[in-house]
């Protein structure tokens, strides 16, 4: 019964839409988002974390999807392969590890996303620093990239938490 | 040592790190040396670009609707200012046409076909933008099929915006001049000095807080007025001459006080690009 849950199709479609929204939001709000401080939207990662929070007993293979969407992101958005291909599954792994020790509440989801964001942003900074694509110092990164990004994405998380939980519940019940 | 290798997780981590670094080095090498990425990557990008438009087109339409509503409110003021300038523009246009005709005649007399200034325009729309803080990169909906090649300069209606950094069949990536990384190809730039001399230099960076483009590697010392126009010099290959970049905002010396540094405020609004023109130099 659970194997035929429509969530198995809804989750990847939502993941791809989230991936597209990442770019579109950056494009449309580029004036507001990329000034002297950078608010980088991480909607794809948010969708993955939502998947972890709401999958319950259905196995959605989130790690595999994370690797796949990470690869597409590397290819299409950044042009540098091998960055998000590993960062997204790593983040999913760490979040799942944390989730085992936390109760399934909004606050623990919030905390998971906070930690996941910090990991993914820091590792992508390190990787880009390594190939010399990022030309900012670590202090600068913390203050003008990581801080604003966390603020933006956590607000987005709070806003979308309830609607997304309804969406997941609805498609789970249909099974 | 034995324990180190028996730990399965550690081995997985090491393998992942090695593959990751390998892939990164590979893509940087391809970016530096090859005109196009490998065929599989191109194919993936084309598919991703196509499917991305399904989401990005309605989103862009909605935002354009809001944008035009906003601009409707400014229309009256704008109309008043612009109507004053129309009469000036007509006279300039007439003169421009006459000069162009004269130029064509002189060129044909000298048997000059294409000079540094001539280029063919390829128009493209922006599909999406890289969600990244350090890679100011947009993705446009024209690629190899439309004649776009790597390193071609990209313009918006008001001035130079950036350079094509990766070409696929149906879409390509454009690095904006606000990009600060070492891999960015720099533009050769000219500014007119006061005594009739021309100062050559190269765009060397971008200051995020002031929003000014830095022009370094300046060869000569001459007085430059603030407000002078900076444009591409056409030296060094693929960029045509005379693409407008912006006006000089500040002139100062570099960190060691040895050479000049000119700060240009870019004419193009680089955080609000909807459509671009790729300038393909006639060859």
The residue with greater pLDDT, B242 or A2, is B242
Task: Kindly state the average pLDDT of the residues B58-85.
Answer: 80
Q: How many CB pairs under 8 A join A and B?
A: 144
Q: What is the pLDDT of residues B188-235, one digit of tens each?
A: 888 888 777 888 888 888 888 888 888 888 877 778 888 888 888 888
B46 in the same domain as B27: no
Is B265 in contact with B249 (CB distance < 8 Å)? yes
Q: Does residue A175 surpass a pLDDT of 60?
A: no
Per-residue pLDDT for A155 more than 70? Answer: yes
Clarify whether residues B27 and B158 are in a common domain. no
Q: What is the pLDDT of residue B117?
A: 73
Q: What is the mean pLDDT of chain A?
A: 88
**First-residue to last-residue Cα distance in chain A:** 6
Rounded-to-10 torsion of CA A112, A113, A116, A120: 180
Residues B134, B217 share a domain: yes
Are B28 and B133 part of one and the same domain? no
Helix (H, G, I), strand (E, B) or coil at B93: helix
CB within 8 Å: B28 and A35: no
Q: What is the mean pLDDT of residues B232-254?
A: 84
> Which residues in chain B touch residue A124, judged by CB atoms under 8 angstroms apart?
132
Domain CATH code at residue B137: 2.40.10.350
Say what percent of chain B tops pLDDT 70: 94
| ipTM of the prediction | 0.86
Based on the domain organization, do B178 and B77 belong to the same domain?
Answer: yes
Taking contacts as CB-CB distances below 8 angstroms, the residues of chain B near A31 are 269, 271-272
- For residue A38, give the chain B residue with the closest CA: B133
Say yes or no: B160 and B22 in one domain. Answer: no
Shared domain check, B203 and B103: yes
> Which chain A residue's Cα is nearest to B126?
A27
Check the CA dihedral B37-B41-B43-B45 and report its sign.
negative
Whether residue B146 is found in the same domain as residue B239: yes
Give the separation between CA B127 and CA B204, rounded to whole angstroms. 28
pLDDT at B43: 87
A81 to B27: CB separation less than 8 angstroms, yes or no: yes
- Write out the two tokens for B191: 């500014």
For residue A175, being part of any structural domain is answered with no
Task: Name the minimum distance, in Å, from the CA of B104 to any CA of chain A.
Answer: 41
Residue B4 reports pLDDT greater than 60:
no
Residue B181 CA to residue A132 CA, distance in Å, equals: 7
Range of the domain at A156: 2-170
Q: Which residues pair with B215 in a beta bridge?
A: B203, B262
In a domain, residue A109? The reply is: yes
**Total of domains in chain A:** 1
Over residues B112-122, mean pLDDT:
75
Q: What is the per-residue pLDDT for A80? A: 86
Q: Say if residue B94 is in the same domain as residue B113.
A: yes
Rounded to 5 degrees, what are φ and ψ at B87? -60, -40
Top mean-pLDDT range of A150-159, B10-19, B268-277 = A150-159
Residues B176 and B100 in one domain: yes
Q: Going by C-beta distance under 8 Å and a sequence separation of 6 or more, which residues neighbour residue B174?
A: B137, B138, B139, B140, B154, B161, B162, B163, B164, B165, B276
Helices (H), chain A: 7-28, 30-33, 43-54, 62-73, 84-100, 106-130, 138-141, 147-173
Range of the domain at B233: 42-283
Contacts of B19 in chain A (CB under 8 A): 82, 86
Closest-approach residue (CA) in chain A for B273: A27
- What value does the mean pLDDT take over residues A86-94? 92
> Based on the domain organization, do B132 and B166 belong to the same domain?
yes
Dist. CA B53–CA B63, nearest whole Å: 15
Confidence of residue A1 (pLDDT cuts 50, 70, 90): very low
Please write the tens of the pLDDT for every residue from A64-82.
Answer: 999 999 999 999 998 888 8
Measured CA to CA, the distance from residue B171 to residue B42 in angstroms comes to 9
Q: Kindly list the residues from chain B whose CB atom is less than 8 angstroms away from the CB atom of residue A145.
A: 133
Q: What is the pLDDT of residue B3?
A: 58
| Number of other CB atoms surrounding residue B70 within 10 Å | 9
Cβ pair B254, B261 in contact under 8 A = yes
| A88 within domain boundaries | yes
% of chain B beyond a pLDDT of 90 = 7
Top residue of A13, A22, A27 to mutate, by most chain B CBs within 10 Å, is: A27
> Dihedral through CA B193, CA B196, CA B200, CA B201, nearest 10?
0
The count of structural domains within chain B is 2
Across B36-54, average pLDDT? 85
When pLDDT is cut at 50, 70 and 90, the band that residue B113 belongs to is low
**Are A91 and A119 contacting, i.e. CB atoms less than 8 angstroms apart?**
yes
Q: Residue A65, class by beta-carbon neighbours within 10 Å (0-12 exposed, 13-18 middle, 19+ buried)? A: buried
Six token digits for residue A148: 């604003």
* Same structural domain, B17 and B99: no
Chain B residues in contact with A17 (beta carbon < 8 A): 55
pLDDT greater than 70 at residue B6: no
3-state helix, strand, coil in chain B (%, to 5): 35, 30, 35
Per-residue pLDDT tens digits for A7-33: 888 899 999 999 999 998 898 888 888
Q: Which residue of B has its CA nearest to A84?
A: B20
Identify whether the C-beta of residue B50 lies closer than 8 Å to the C-beta of residue B42. no
């Amino acid at each position: 019964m659970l194997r035929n849950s429509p969530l198995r199709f809804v989750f990847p479609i939502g993941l791809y839409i989230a991936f597209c929204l990442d770019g579109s939001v950056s494009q449309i709000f580029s004036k507001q988002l990329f000034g002297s401080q950078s608010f980088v939207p991480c909607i794809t990662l948010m969708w993955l974390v939502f998947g972890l929070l709401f999958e319950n007993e259905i196995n959605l293979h989130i790690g595999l999807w994370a690797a796949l969407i990470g690869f597409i992101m590397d290819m299409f958005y950044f042009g540098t392969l091998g960055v998000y291909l590993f960062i997204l599954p790593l983040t999913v792994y760490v979040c799942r590890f944390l989730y085992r020790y936390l109760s399934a509440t909004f606050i623990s989801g919030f905390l998971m996303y906070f930690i996941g964001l910090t990991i993914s942003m820091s590792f992508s900074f390190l990787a880009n620093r390594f190939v010399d694509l990022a030309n900012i110092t670590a202090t600068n990164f913390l203050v003008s990239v990581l801080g604003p990004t966390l603020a933006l994405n956590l607000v987005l998380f709070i806003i979308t938490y309830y609607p997304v939980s309804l969406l997941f519940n609805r498609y789970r019940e249909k099974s | 040592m034995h324990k180190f290798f028996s730990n399965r997780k550690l081995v997985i981590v090491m393998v992942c790190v090695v593959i990751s670094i390998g892939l990164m080095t590979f893509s940087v090498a391809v970016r530096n040396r090859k005109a196009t990425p490998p065929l599989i990557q191109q194919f993936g990008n084309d598919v991703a670009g196509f499917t991305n438009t399904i989401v990005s087109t309605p989103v862009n339409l909605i935002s354009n609707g809001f944008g035009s509503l906003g601009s409707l409110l400014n229309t009256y003021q704008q109309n008043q200012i612009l109507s004053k300038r129309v009469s000036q523009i007509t006279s300039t246009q007439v003169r421009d046409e006459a000069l162009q005709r004269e130029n064509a005649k002189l060129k044909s007399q000298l048997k000059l076909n294409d000079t540094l200034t001539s280029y063919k325009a390829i128009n493209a729309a922006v599909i999406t933008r890289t969600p990244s803080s350090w890679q100011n990169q947009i993705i446009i909906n024209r690629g190899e099929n439309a004649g776009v090649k790597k390193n071609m300069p990209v313009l918006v209606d008001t001035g130079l915006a950036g350079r094509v950094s990766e070409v696929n069949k149906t879409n390509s990536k454009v690095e904006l001049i606000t990009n600060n990384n070492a891999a960015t190809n720099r533009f050769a730039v000219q500014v007119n000095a006061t005594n009739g001399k021309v100062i050559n230099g190269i765009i060397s960076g971008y200051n995020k807080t002031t929003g000014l483009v830095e022009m370094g590697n300046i060869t000569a010392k001459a007085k430059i007025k603030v407000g002078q126009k900076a444009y591409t010099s056409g030296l060094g290959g693929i960029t045509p001459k005379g693409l407008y970049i912006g006006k000089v905002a500040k002139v100062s010396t570099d960190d060691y006080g040895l050479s000049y540094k000119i700060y240009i405020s870019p004419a193009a609004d680089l955080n609000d690009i909807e459509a671009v023109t790729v300038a393909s130099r006639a060859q």
